[in-house]
Structure 1
Amino acid sequence: MSDFGKIHRKFWDHPKAKQAGNAALGLWVKANAWTRDNRSGGFVPRDVALELGTRDEANALVKARLWRRVDKDGEFIGIQFNDYEHWNDDVEPNTEAGKLVRKVIPESHPFAIRQQLVKKTAELLREGIDPEILERALNLWLAKDFGPGILPSLVSEAQKEAQRAATLRNTITECLKTGQVSPLKAYGYIFSPPVPPDGLDVSERRVWMDRAKRDWLNELRGRVAA
């Protein structure tokens, strides 16, 4: 992320800037620096906005549509810069989406691609997709030769994998209770009976084989959990 934000060379003549006035623009500049320094993606909490400027200045920026008010549960919690992503290269802001992309996607990937991945990830989080599923989907994306637009499909793929793993874990647990291993054939796991040591009678061979099955099931459960 660059240390510098962007202000268009014609900003001085923009109707929004003229409407807001010089005092409010001083708050706008300071808040722009704050949001970049804190990777907040253009969001400034209420207390910070009022620390950097006055309520009248903040209201002037909202009225001029340089900012928009952000409410949660009917309560004013802060402001959001309008068109922030268009003018700033905060690729991975300190939002949940930004942190996920920053965690998985190397910085060697182009800025525009990472920015699109943050946007897609944020959209999917708003839909209620589990962050762990999104992290798996981002890892899947690294192995694909497609653009960020494929992320929803990879989320579906990750959800299927997670569901399959959960069902497999339940099946392993049931097999540990019953001592049967044949249900795992449906998942492609086949128990190959080891050769028991010499000198065991029929009963001892059965006990030894049951223990071998449990060891195999526990080892398989550990691999699936990982």
Structure 2
Amino acid sequence: MTTETSSGPLVLVVDDDLAIRRFLRTGLEMHGFRVIEAETARQATELAVMRQPDLVVLDLGLPDSDGAIVLEALRSWSQTPVIVLSVRKSEPEKVRLLESGADDYIVKPFGMAELLARARVVLRRTVRQETSEPIVRVGTLQIDIARRLVSRGGNAVILSPKQFALLRTLAVHHGHVLTHRQLMRELWPQEPVEDVQYLRILMKKLRNRIEPDPAQPIYIVTELAVGYRLRTQEQLDAVGYAKAMQ
């Protein structure tokens, strides 16, 4: 365990790999974050209680327990945002963790730019909970949530009520993964839909309206077998903003 050195948001990094902790500390501190470290589930829980960090970056493979147990313990008393790190690529596990309270999930190896973009998103979300921004802008796409208006490159985009409902749900939580189940419950609350194909068809129609190239979407990205994410501007920048202008 170590102490932090600046005045920015406090991040608790939980990983038993010293090299990963050093990598994360260096990158986070270079961008104004304070960092404290834990290498076991027990240390993580103690630090979360004593220091109440603004963000937890949590590895799943800990020597004394699974990181999922740490997440469960945190969610029993705290809404501190949690970004899970893991070498595991199981899609059902991603869904389970996201629906158990993780705010995001990154598979190792990953780039610092991606982590920073996602960290800033989850921190902003805790300030506003659900977005209080009436307008969400990503690249040339603009979504006026309150007035139900969408434009791309200054040109109006006409959406069906269901297409707008899907886009609005993603915009309210922009930057975050929403699972198929979460989206279907939001879109069809009175008539539960279990077949994800309905959602995929709706998503295809929405992308045909808002994406520069629907075959290679840049705004709404697929988290394979998990769900969808409407990128923020920072996330778009992290993967190459120039694509959004094509």
The TM-score by the shorter chain falls in which range? under 0.3
Q: Which has a greater percent of strand?
A: 2
Q: Which has a greater percent of helix?
A: 1
Larger Cα-atom Rg:
1
Q: TM-score, normalised by structure 2?
A: 0.25
Q: Which has the higher contact order (CA 8 A, sep 6+)?
A: 2
